Amino acid sequence: MRVTVVGSGYVGLVTGACFAELGHYVVVVDNDQSKLSALREGECPIHEQFLPELLRRHHGDRLMFSDDLQKSVRESVAVFIAVGTPSADNGEADLSYIESVAREISGAISDYKVVVEKSTVPVYTSEWIRKIIVRNGANPSSFDIASNPEFLREGSAVTDFLFPDRIVVGVENDRSATILRELYEPLTSGLYSRQPYSVPIPTTAHALPRLILTSTKSAELIKHASNAFLATKISFINAVATVCESVGADVQQVCDGLGTDSRIGPRFLNPGVGYGGSCFPKDLSAFRAVAREHGYEFRLLDEVMRINEDQRRRFLKKVRSALWTLRGKHLGVLGLAFKGGTDDIRESPAILIIRALLQEGCAITAYDPAATERAREVLHSNVTFSANAYEAAADADALLLLTDWEEFESLDLPRLARELKYPIVIDGRNLYDPQRMADQGFTYYSVGRAPTMPDHLASSVPKEYLETR
């Protein structure tokens, strides 16, 4: 099947490459000439596992890149809109890019097309896209609008697409449903997973994903509701972590007890410095704005967002507790991306914490396996960037762990202790066992667990010195 994907960002590029992997002929359209030039040269502009391999495998065959939207639309049966929907000042999603695409493709619709929302959009967006296309001259019977929300996690987006939990398709008639069923048939039938060239199947993959047919409005709400629920789960366990610190409990033990309940599950029960990225903050604001527009004050989401912001402030208190004063302190920082496995720094808790520490007069040396160049663009010369974790720790008053990269879970602890000026680690991702860190000679702070230190120090330090409340 011939497919156009409009937008070559995280969602659009992964969607285009994965549809090509499934055997479809795909044109990814963008108006950013520098990005198109890089893609045509075989470069992968984002850090995403398996994506460079798919781009190399299909570029020039089943995957092309173009700036001619109308030509691509005329030659396709399905058009996926995957452009940005950033937050406006009032929290609502800015749909101007989607509107611009809808206007432009209207002149290219001659035979039947399915125009598919892939961007995360508020409810009723599908109706507005239809109105815009009709207003600009397209025959109403020559196209349908569908909603096909993405559930791609940065860092595992390719495997999320090719081995999904479910595929949600919002349509209003059988004609468009048939086309989208055919597009995804290699996944729903299991055909793709049986191919010798397929991307490795993750251990958590379902045998066969369920294709869920809904109305377009329901599909639009499913995406916002899913992200809101996951963000709520993160903020909930961070609030529990605060209680654990207050009463002397261990939040990891609490997580084990919660996560083994099949009704709750262990995923997203990860206490830390809070969520970030391009999706959760934006989608919660947009979902809250949609609810408010239709007469409902979604106060639960207000509290989810407040807890998330408070989590960063609480982490800064831990840093002060460990170092007493911050001005003039040299801090090593591990992690700049909003999560491990990606180079995305949008709404990254690490970046926000670093900025707050710089305002306090700290000197920062930072390392990230993938996000250094993107971070350099926003932090400029205020931060020194290192080539590895041990360089970041060299002669630092303390080391901060801010992103959950696998690389950071297996550091050479004796070497780390030698590099640091003082063996103090403040772990915002709970990557290490507190007792192990104490045994290795570290004073160790984490989230929702009591601070620990070596025995020879613990006996001489008053308990209240370690408290971070």
pLDDT digits (tens, 9 = 90+) for 100-124: 999 999 999 989 999 999 988 988 8
Q: Are residues 49 and 190 in the same domain?
A: yes
- Region 242-261: mean pLDDT is 97
pLDDT level of residue 37 (50, 70, 90 thresholds): very high
Of residues 467 and 34, more confidence is placed in 34
CA angle 382, 391, 331 (to 5 degrees): 50
State the pTM of this model: 0.91
In the predicted model, is pLDDT for residue 246 greater than 90?
yes
Give the mean model confidence (pLDDT) for residues 171-198: 96
Q: Are residues 96 and 225 in the same domain?
A: no
Residues 252 and 313 in one domain: yes
pLDDT of the residue at 204: 80
Alpha helices in 248-335 (DSSP H): 251-259, 280-293, 299-323
* Together in a domain, 262 and 130: no
Give the single-character DSSP code of 272: S
Residue 454, C-beta contacts closer than 8 angstroms, at least 6 positions apart: 438, 439, 441, 442, 443
Tell me the CATH number at 132: 3.40.50.720
Q: Are residues 75 and 200 in the same domain?
A: yes
Q: Report pLDDT digits (tens) over 353-403.
A: 999 999 999 999 999 999 999 999 999 889 999 999 999 999 999 999 999
Give yes or no for residue 74 having a pLDDT over 80.
Answer: yes
Spot the catalytic one: 18, 244, 255, 279.
Answer: 279
CB half-sphere exposure, 383, CA atoms < 13 A: 32
CB–CB of 85/97 below 8 Å?
yes
Q: Residue 403 is encoded by which pair of tokens?
A: 């992103």
Same domain, 201 and 263: no
- By the 10 Å C-beta count (0-12 exposed, 13-18 middle, 19+ buried), 204 is classed as exposed
Residues 111, 33 within the same domain: yes
Q: Is residue 446 a contact partner of residue 432, using CB atoms and an 8 Å limit? A: yes
pLDDT band for position 47 (50/70/90)? very high
Q: What is the mean pLDDT of the chain?
A: 94
Active site residue 362: no
Q: Supply the pLDDT for residue 469.
A: 42
Domains in the chain, number? 2
Cα angle for residues 190, 194, 200 (degrees, 5° grid): 100
Out of 158, 189, 212, a domain closes at 212
Angstrom distance (rounded) from CA 284 to CA 422: 40
Same domain? For 403 and 359 the reply is yes
Residue 232 has pLDDT above 60, yes or no: yes
Instruction: List pLDDT tens digits, range 394-409.
Output: 999 999 999 999 999 9
CA distance 264 to 124: 31
> Do residues 238 and 328 share a domain?
yes
Residue 466 predicted with pLDDT over 70:
no
Domain boundary among 212, 233, 260: 212
Do 262 and 357 lie in one domain? The reply is yes
Same domain, 21 and 103: yes
Residue 463 has pLDDT above 60, yes or no: no
> What local confidence, expressed as pLDDT, does residue 205 receive?
81
Residue 144 has pLDDT above 80, yes or no: yes
Average pLDDT (119-135) is 93
Q: Which of 175, 190, 212 is the last residue of a domain?
A: 212
In terms of residue numbers, what domain contains 236? 215-469
Claim to verify: residue 294 and residue 153 sit in the same structural domain: no
